[in-house]
Structures are given as C-alpha cells and as structure tokens.
Amino acid sequence: MKNILTVDLEDWFSVETFQKIIAPKDWLTQKPTVESATDKILNLFQKRNVRATFFVLGWIADQYPDMVARVAGAGHEIACHSYYHRMVCSLSPEEFKADTNMAVNAIFKACGVHPNGYRSPSWGIRRDMTWAFEILAEFGFKYDSSIFPIQHDIYGDPTAPRRVHEITVSSGKRIIEIPASTVMVFGRRLPLGGGGWLRQFPYWYTRWGIRRLSRENMPVIVYFHPWELDPDIPRVDLKMRDRFRQYGSLKTMEYKVENLLSDFDFFTVSEYIDSLS
C-alpha cells in the first residue's frame, strides 16, 4: 500500500513554540534556513522519484516565490498552510478568512497554482469548528488535513475519526478530511509518522506502525518540515520541554526520511484521493 508524503513548507522561527517569542514582524530579522533545506528535500525526492504534497506557508511564498515555483515545477502538489502560521482555533472566523485569502493569493502569485488542500498550522482545527470548514469550502478547498485525533497539550481532537472521512458543510459542499496518523496500542492512540513524533521516536517504531496500518488498509500521513533536516538551525533559549520538542534528534531526521523513502512507496494527497474513486 502507498502512503501519503507531505511537507509543511515553513522556516524554523514560525512554529508554535516561538509564537510568543518571535512575532511575524520580526521574521525577516532571523537567520533563514528554508531554501537550503528545501533544496535538500527536493534532491532526496528526485533521487527516489517520489512526489509529495507541500503545504506552503503564504509568508514563505511571498518571500521565496522562486523556491515555491521550483517545488511546483518539480511535479509536487502545492497546498496551503495559512499565511502567518497561526492555529485556526486561535483565530476568529474573520481573521481566518483574511489569513487564508492572503495565503492563497501569495501561493498563486508565486507558482500559478490555486491550492486544493489546506493544513492548519500545528493541527489547529477540531471537528466542532464547523465555521472553519464552511470557510474552507468557500475558498474552494477539496480537502483538509488539520485534525490530529489524539490528546495533546497544544492541539488534538482525541475522539475524532482516525480514518479519512468526508465533512459536509451547510452549503452542501463536501470536504475530505485526512487526519494525522495514529496507531492503536493497548487501546490507546499513539501518534505516528510525522514531525516531532517521527524525529524523536526510534525508526523501528515508525516502520512497525506503517506496516501495522497498512494491514488495516490505512495509509500513513508522513509529514515533516524543512528545518527538521538542518541540525544547525539557530538555537533560542527555551524551557526544557520546548527545547526538546524543537531541537531533539535533529541529527537523525535526514536518516529517517531517507529510510522511509527506501522502505515504503508514497504519493501526494490528491493522488491518494483520486485512488479512492
């Protein structure tokens, strides 16, 4: 079974850990790493002849339009990851609409693509946020990948469906929800295949979990960020837990991604959706 390969195209300073430390107005003062790390990812994908879905931050599209165009030109799917990397659950409907509009316009200007998919920064949408899905439908998004069906101190919807499912909004339009992957262990949902979970957990766990879900006919949503493949990203003084989340096991990430590309087959989100019909 093929799994779904995704990249959240953003730089190290935009993540939730730094929301109260490095404001968007200060992003241009930080040392960027996104271009070199993205080139590394594109080279890895080219060697393995694999295509992925890149959820592009609108701010990144405005600052690095040529890079976003290179990603699209290499045959990868372009999707939307907001403009300022603020969790949707932290925004009002009006703020979400404005942020999404800026992001879609920036992405289209950079590469000529109107994205069909959306992913909230930091998995910041829950099932009860019907207004968010209404807005996504208004913008013409066909799918969303913003729900993480686990319990977590920052995000999560622990009773949400673990499988891909449809959400129907009041207008009658449907959005396909592709939740982050989890595996059941002794009746408990454990995260699998992405971000800090991929980086911090031993590779054998990820490989085991993907094979386990494959037997359940569930593709795994692999996701990571360009900065996670750069062990030399700038260090910021953080509390111990946040420091571990941000910097832990960075040196192992490229090795783990390379192993994933060697051990499993992947396609984009849209290719997966097309395979369902």
CA 99, CA 121: separation in Å to the nearest integer? 12
CA 62, CA 82: separation in Å to the nearest integer? 12
Going residue by residue through the chain (277 aa), what tens digit of pLDDT does each one get? 899 999 999 999 999 999 889 999 999 999 999 999 999 999 999 999 999 999 999 999 999 999 999 999 999 999 999 999 999 999 999 999 999 999 999 999 999 999 999 999 999 999 999 999 999 999 999 999 999 999 887 887 999 999 999 999 988 999 999 999 999 999 999 999 999 999 999 999 999 999 999 999 999 999 999 999 999 999 999 999 889 889 999 999 999 999 999 999 999 999 999 999 8
Query: 183-189 long-range contacts, Cβ below 8 Å, gap at least 24?
Result: 183/209, 183/212, 183/213, 189/149, 189/150, 189/151, 189/158, 189/162
What is the topology classification, in CATH, of domain 3-276? TIM Barrel (3.20.20)
How many Cβ atoms from other residues are within 10 Å of residue 268's Cβ? 22
CA 277, CA 274: separation in Å to the nearest integer? 6
Which backbone phi and psi does 118 adopt, to 5 degrees?
-135, 145
Q: Is 192 within 8 Å of 220 (Cβ atoms)?
A: yes
Question: Using CA of residue 217, residue 81, residue 36, residue 235, what is the dihedral sign?
Answer: negative
Residue 277: what pLDDT? 80
Residue 231: what pLDDT? 95
Residue 40: what pLDDT? 97
**Global confidence as pTM:** 0.97
Which residues, in sequence order, are CB contacts of 127 under 8 Å at separation 6+?
Answer: 147, 157, 160, 167
